[in-house]
Amino acid sequence: MEVGMSTNVAHIIDRKGGEVVTIGPAATLAKAAALLAEHNIGAVVVSRDGTTVDGILSERDIVRQFASTDGVGTGSVSVSTAMTTGVHTATPAATIDELVQIMTTGRFRHVPIVDGGALVGIVSIGDVVKSRMDELQTEAESLQEYVTGTSY
Ligand code: AMP
C-alpha cells in the first residue's frame, strides 16, 4: 500500500473475509450467547434470511436483558426482544474515518456492511484498530526506507 492511501471498508473485508455470523429473530438468547462464545465475537447480525439486516444483538444487549430480570429466564427470551433495530450500516466504499465517526457517535463497536441491500461483511472496532495499526506500520517503514535507503 502507498503512503497516504486511505484504507476503506472494502480493504478490510477483503483481508478478513465477508463471513457474518447471523441469527434469526425467533432464536433464544441462550442460542445467541452460545454463538458469540463459539465464534469468539461480540455481536451477531439478526436476519431472517441471512442477507437482510433486521437487527443487531451484542453481548451488551444480553447483559442488559439479564440485569432487567436478575437473570431469571434470560436464556429463553427471544433475540427480537433484546436486539437493537434501526441498525447503522455502511457500504464497502465507506472510509475508515466514516466508520469511526459512526461508531463514536452511536457508541457501538460493530457496523454491518451492506451492498445493494445484502449483508456482505461486518467491521468491529477491533478491525478498525488493526487496520490503523497496519497503515501506521506501512507508513513508518516507507519513511524509514526513504530516509535511510533501506528496504524491507
Ligand atoms: P456494541 O458496542 O457493538 O457491543 O453494541 C452496543 C449497543 O449498540 C447494543 O445495544 C447493540 O445492539 C447496539 N449496536 C451495535 N452495533 C450497532 C449498529 N451498527 N447500529 C445500531 N446499534 C448497534
**Tens of pLDDT, residues 113-147:** 999 999 999 999 999 999 999 889 988 888 988 89
Confirm whether 1 is domain-assigned: no
Residue with more model confidence, 2 or 103: 103
Average pLDDT, the chain: 93
Q: Which atom of ligand 1 is nearest to the CA of 112?
A: 19
The CATH number for 18's domain is: 3.10.580.10
131 with 11: CB under 8 angstroms?
A: yes
The pLDDT, as a whole number, for residue 135 is: 87
Q: Are 138 and 110 in contact (CB under 8 A)?
A: no
Which ligand 1 atom is the nearest neighbour of the CA of 84?
12
Q: Is residue 121 within 8 Å of residue 145, measured between CB atoms?
A: no
User: Residue 4: inside a domain, yes or no?
Assistant: no
On whether residue 127 sits in a domain, the answer given is: yes
Establish if 42 belongs to a structural domain.
yes
- For the chain, the domain total comes to 1
Measured on CA atoms in the order 18, 124, 96, 118, is the torsion positive or negative? positive
**Ligand 1 atom nearest 88 alpha carbon:** 20
pLDDT of residue 6: 63
pLDDT in tens, 76-110: 999 999 999 999 999 999 999 999 999 999 999 99
Q: Is residue 78 part of a domain?
A: yes
* Residue to mutate (ligand 1; options 108, 113, 128; most atoms within 8 A of CB): 108
Task: Please state, in angstroms and rounded to a whole number, the distance separating the CA atoms of residues 79 and 76.
Answer: 9
> Which atom, in ligand 1's list, is nearest to the CA of 56?
12
> What is the domain range of residue 111?
9-148
Between CA 85 and CA 114 the distance in angstroms is 15
Measured by CA distance, the residue closest to atom 11 of ligand 1 is 58
| 68 C-alpha to ligand 1 centroid (Å) | 18
**Is 31 within the bounds of a domain?**
yes
Whether 4 has a pLDDT exceeding 60, the answer reads: no
74 secondary structure, DSSP code:
G
CA 5 / ligand 1 centre spacing (Å): 29
Classify residue 2: in a domain, yes or no.
no
Residues near ligand 1 with C-beta < 6 Å? 42-43, 56, 58, 60-61, 84, 87-88, 106, 108-111
Residues 1-5 have a mean pLDDT of 44
Instruction: With respect to residue 74, please indicate whether it lies within any of the assigned structural domains.
Output: yes
